[in-house]
Amino acid sequence: MNTDFLIIGSGIAGLTYALKVANDFPEKTITIITKTTSDETNTKYAQGGIAGVMNFNEDSFSKHIQDTFIAGDGLCNQSIIEIVVKEGVDRIKEIIQWGAQFDKDPFGDFKLGKEGGHSESRILHHKDVTGKEMERTLLEAIKNCSNIQLVNHCFVLDLITQHHTGYLVTKSTPDIECYGVYVLNLLTKKIEKILSKITLLATGGNGQVYRTTTNPSIATGDGVAMVYRAKGRIENMEFIQFHPTALYETSIKGHSFLITEAVRGDGGILRNHEGLPFMEKYDSRKDLAPRDIVARAIDNEMKINGNEYVFLDCRHMDIKNFKEHFPNIYNKCISIGIDVSKDMIPVAPAAHYSCGGIKTDEWGRTSIKNLYAAGECASTGLHGANRLASNSLLEAMVFAHRSYLDSASQINNIELKKNIPDWNAEGTTAPGEMILITQSLKELKLLMSDYVGIVRNKERLHRAMKRLDLLHEETETLYHKTEVSPQLCELRNMITVAYLIVKSAEFRKESRGLHFNTDFPGKDAILQNTIL
Ligand code: FAD
Ligand code: SIN
């Protein structure tokens, strides 16, 4: 297959970009690839909302900029923050025009929520299912674009670069170029090549590298791993954000259910097993301190008391308002026997968001020519060492737009590459035992959660790396002799992502934002990103 614009991922970043190029270039072909169904994305699960300055009486761009900067603990790129905060408002207005509904009060003004680290109420939301509403809007809108082809159940294996035409490509090769991708079509079980003039990676996050995560099963860091294999630049992978309040359940199927930070924004209070509020011991902003601080505080309380969770107390909150703002959470709690008006909700931190990723510039350009990245897989410089709540959907839309502007100015100068060889599956045979994959996956998740979680140290990172070496060696051997499958490729990608997280964490000899190392509890005077 040949296409002008190729988009990997159908979350907020991929779909926003697709809509824009489709409307601007009705004569060009746009192909969106997704590895399961089109709406199975991190985007669909977003709860709290999207941050944006909509009420200029109390709020201002400078306050949102300042809050983002403070949360990022010194590592944010100031000019990128300004771009996102200022341009973000137009992107929000755009998605509203496309049909997204955000909650309003009886006077027709947006009901603006508050979350950790925000000095003002500025979170637009659709009850507690904001992502679902945004995903629905975008999927509806692309149906009207006849030049977009959306291909589900198609697993992207690797980027095609000069490497596939016989050239030696290393990290120092100048002008590495992307010519398209190899994919495993899960319906035909065939490996195909898709050649493209421009490719956008919008592959989302990597929470599945950890044992407990709020991310659905698609979040395996495939885009980051592909770029790393293609010798592109990856940045700040040590900054994995753990959401403080995932619902604690003894048996979790796939991923943890989130209890949005907006619940604390509306008055929810964290309590330990004695029923005592504890956040005041850790930060003057108490339950609404930035996420890294709240997650570390909960981790500490759990370790002191030997418990696997703490409680979120909503019993004092107005139940009518609660049900109206958080119907999804209310119903989920009821389904497991928790009535939030009488019972406290057991919660524990879970891997939630990757602040680092594929390094991009202010136009979403990666270090590989004709390859852009937007959304959670990208590292734009916005989040620094810790993302401010509800800035992710905003960033994804702003950088999808900017990637569109830049790629629109390039598309007519790019030719499709010819003579790309087919995928080489020589010497591989049908997979024998799935246990070789599933057991390694369990080991990977365990070691990342136990050694590379909220609190780290030299010894834990060293142990993690040794175990990763073994998993890497075994999985590469299996990969080279086995026909590819999504399970095997995801395991391989997750091992690469885990390696990048551990390596970056080892490089950072300080504690900053989401990276807390007990051997280096202070901050280094020199501010720098970790680039691999
Ligand atoms: P995603 O929406 O994750 O989409 C990734 C896409 O890539 C999918 O279509 C997937 O199939 C595809 N893909 C991946 N790998 C491959 C491959 N190898 N081949 C083919 N396709 C592939 N952020 C906020 O700002 N506000 C919130 O309230 C909020 N709440 C959240 C709540 C939860 C529970 C979670 C998990 C996240 C939340 N976030 C929130 C974060 C935010 O939702 C995500 O960062 C954002 O939606 C990511 O969008 P994306 O377009 O980058 O990727
Ligand atoms: C939440 O609703 O608490 C998640 C918000 C986010 O991840 O930005």
- In terms of domains, do 31 and 86 share one? yes
Strands 190-201 and 371-373: parallel
User: Last residue of some domain: 330, 351, 372?
Assistant: 351
Residue 441 resides in a domain: yes
CA distances from 211 to 242, 254, 446, 485 (A): 12, 9, 6, 22
Contacts of 106 (CB under 8 A, 6+ apart): none
Task: Return the pLDDT at 337.
Answer: 96
Alpha carbon nearest to ligand 1 atom 38, residue: 46
Q: Assess whether 105 and 234 both reside in one domain.
A: yes
Helix (H, G, I), strand (E, B) or coil at 147: coil
**Is position 270 within any domain?**
yes
Tokens, residue 413: 């100068």
> Which stretch of DSSP H or E encloses residue 131?
helix 130-143
Residue 239 buriedness (CB in 10 A; 0-12 / 13-18 / 19+): buried
- Whole-number Cα distances in Å, 179 to 156, 194, 340, 345, 387: 14, 9, 53, 50, 32
Q: Looking at the CA of residue 223, tell me the nearest atom of ligand 1.
A: 15
CA–centroid distance, residue 295 to ligand 1 (Å): 21
CA-closest residue to ligand 1 atom 31:
46
CATH code of the domain containing 280 = 3.90.700.10
Side-chain half-sphere exposure of 406, counting CA atoms within 13 A: 21
Q: Flag whether 531 is in a domain.
A: no
pLDDT at 208: 98
pLDDT in tens, the chain (532 residues): 999 999 999 999 999 999 999 999 999 999 999 999 999 999 999 999 999 999 899 999 999 999 999 999 999 999 999 999 999 999 999 999 999 999 999 999 999 999 888 999 999 999 999 999 999 999 999 999 999 999 999 999 999 999 999 999 999 999 999 999 999 999 999 999 999 999 999 999 999 999 999 999 999 999 999 999 999 999 999 999 999 999 999 887 779 999 999 999 999 999 999 999 999 999 999 999 988 899 999 999 998 889 999 999 999 999 999 999 999 999 999 999 999 999 999 999 999 999 999 999 999 999 999 999 999 999 999 999 999 999 999 999 999 999 999 999 999 999 999 999 999 888 898 888 899 999 999 999 999 999 999 999 999 999 999 999 999 999 999 999 999 999 999 999 999 999 999 999 999 999 999 999 999 999 998 889 999 9
Report the alpha-carbon angle 172-177-178, nearest 5.
130
Judgement on whether residues 212 and 265 belong to the same structural domain of the protein: no
CA of 351, nearest ligand number: 1
The encoded tokens of residue 236 equal 């700040």
Look at residue 523 in the predicted model and tell me its pLDDT: 93
85 with 227, same domain: the answer is: yes
Instruction: Please indicate, yes or no, if residue 299 is contained in any of the structural domains.
Output: yes
pLDDT at 525: 83
Ligand closest to Cα of 291 equals: 2
**Count of C-beta atoms within a 10 Å radius of residue 434:** 11
Report the alpha-carbon distance of residue 484 to residue 222 in Å, rounded.
14
Q: Is the CB of 199 under 6 A from ligand 1?
A: no
| Catalytically annotated residue among 264, 291, 296, 402 | 291
Number of domains in the chain: 3
Residues 327 and 459 in one domain: no
Phi/psi of residue 221, nearest 5 degrees: 65, 30
Q: Are residues 289 and 383 in the same domain?
A: no
User: Domain range spanning residue 317?
Assistant: 244-351
Whether 526 maps to a domain, the answer reads no
Distances (CA, A) of 394 to 49, 89, 293: 9, 9, 23
pLDDT of residue 290: 85
Nearest CA, atom 28, ligand 1: 48
Please work out whether the CB of residue 35 comes within 6 Å of at least one atom of ligand 1: yes
CA dist 399 → 7, 17, 139, 176, 360 (Å): 14, 9, 19, 22, 10
C-alpha 287/C-alpha 264 separation (Å) is: 7
Contact 52 CB / ligand 1 (< 6 Å): no
Tell me how far CA of residue 126 lies from CA of 14, 117, 118, 334, in angstroms: 21, 21, 19, 21
Ligand in nearest proximity to the CA of 38: 1
Domain boundary among 351, 386, 403: 351
Q: What whole-number distance in Å separates Cα of residue 529 and Cα of residue 507?
A: 10
| Pair (146, 250) in one structural domain | no
Tell me: do 229 and 345 sit in the same domain.
Answer: no
Pairwise CA distance, residues 341 & 317, whole Å: 8
**10 within domain boundaries:** yes
Q: Is 271 assigned a catalytic role?
A: no
Q: What is the CATH number of the domain that holds 40?
A: 3.50.50.60
Query: Residue 463: which CATH number?
Result: 1.20.58.100
At residue 318, the pLDDT reads 96
* 262 CA distance to ligand 2 middle (Å): 8
> Is residue 115 located within the same domain as residue 128?
yes
Residue 427 lies in a domain: no
**C-beta 14 within 6 A of ligand 1:** yes
Whose tokens are 């980027």? That residue is: 159
- Looking at the structure, tell me whether residues 361 and 345 fall in a common domain: no
Atom index in ligand 2 nearest the CA of residue 241 equals 7
Q: Are 187 and 70 in contact (CB under 8 A)?
A: no
Same domain for 305 and 180? no
Question: For the whole prediction, is pTM greater than 0.85?
Answer: yes
Residues 224, 366, single domain; the answer is yes
Q: Which has the closest alpha carbon to 15: 36, 28, 31?
A: 31
Residue 419 domain-assigned (yes or no): no
Q: Tell me, letter by letter, the H, E, C secondary structure of 155-212.
A: EEEEEECHHHHCCCCCCCCCCCECCEEEEEECCCCEEEEEEEEEEEECCCCCHHHCCC
Helix/strand/coil for 461: helix
